[in-house]
Structure 1
Amino acid sequence: MIKVVIGFKRQQGMSIQEFRDYRRDVHAPILFAIPEAKKIRRFVVSYPADYATSEEPRFDAMVEAWFDNSDDMHKLFLSDNFATKVDPDHVNFIDLASVVRLVTEEVIVVE
């Protein structure tokens, strides 16, 4: 199993709630409407739990997406549908300069 982890900040001027609403109500339906997204085995979005701390979180969201193998991951991210439908929407809610991506193989330590 392959997992991609992506961390990012919201667009400047966008509130936390606007960011979360846009990602859930606008962006997610765009992603999951393309046939290549059926290769995703699990998809989780995590948000910082407390924005009231003195230290601002490095990311406003972390996305985790699991795939059976790297070929399935590439079929999604390198597809024409992703390039023309999903990727162009990122500029509407993500600070693209903040994006960090890591492709991983999980090692479960405790379950």
Structure 2
Amino acid sequence: MLKFTFLIHRTNEMSREEFVHYHRQHHAPLFMSIPESQKYVKKYVVSHPTEIDGFPAPQYDAITDIYFSSMEDFNTFFSSENYKLKVHPDESNFFKLNEVISLVCDEKIVVDVMTS
């Protein structure tokens, strides 16, 4: 399983609250609405940093983790017409495409008491 992590900054026009709402209520459902999401995406997580006293201010407005079984599935998903025509055009509505940081990880869960 490959985990693709995307660190993103919101557009200057959006407040933090507007950004979180748009990401969770509009973009995530749009992302999951295409058939390729059901076929290739194994897990999709959107996270938004919380400011807590004693911790540094977040450097990014969101973290998106998308899990695929293989690079082939990743490439097939992101090259699909549905992604290119429906999902990708929406991304620039709420985050800065030219500032995205991407990581590819081979995740190893050491402990997960949430699922046991």
TM-score (norm 2): 0.84
Which structure 1 segments of 5+ residues have no match? none
The answer to whether the Cα contact below 8 Å between 1:51 and 1:57 also exists between their aligned partners in 2 is no
Distance of 1:109 and 1:54 partners within structure 2? 25
SS in 2 for 1:13: coil
1:6 corresponds to 2:21: no
Structure whose residues are more often strand by fraction: 1
Q: Which 10-residue stretch deviates more, 5-14 or 64-73?
A: 64-73
SS in 2 for 1:74: helix
Distance of 1:52 and 1:26 partners within structure 2? 30
Distance of 1:20 and 1:53 partners within structure 2? 23
The answer to whether the Cα contact below 8 Å between 2:24 and 2:46 also exists between their aligned partners in 1 is no
Q: Aligned-residue CA RMSD in angstroms?
A: 1.9
Deviations 1:15-35 (A, max 9, x none): 111001111121112111111
Which structure 2 segments of 5+ residues have no match? none
Question: Aligned pair in 2 of structure 1 residues 86, 70: CA closer, same or farther (>3 Å)?
Answer: same
Distance of 1:83 and 1:20 partners within structure 2? 23
Q: Report the AA paired with residue 85 of structure 2.
A: T
- Size of the alignment, in residue pairs? 111
1:104 aligns to what? 105
Identity %: 37
Q: Report the AA paired with residue 12 of structure 1.
A: N
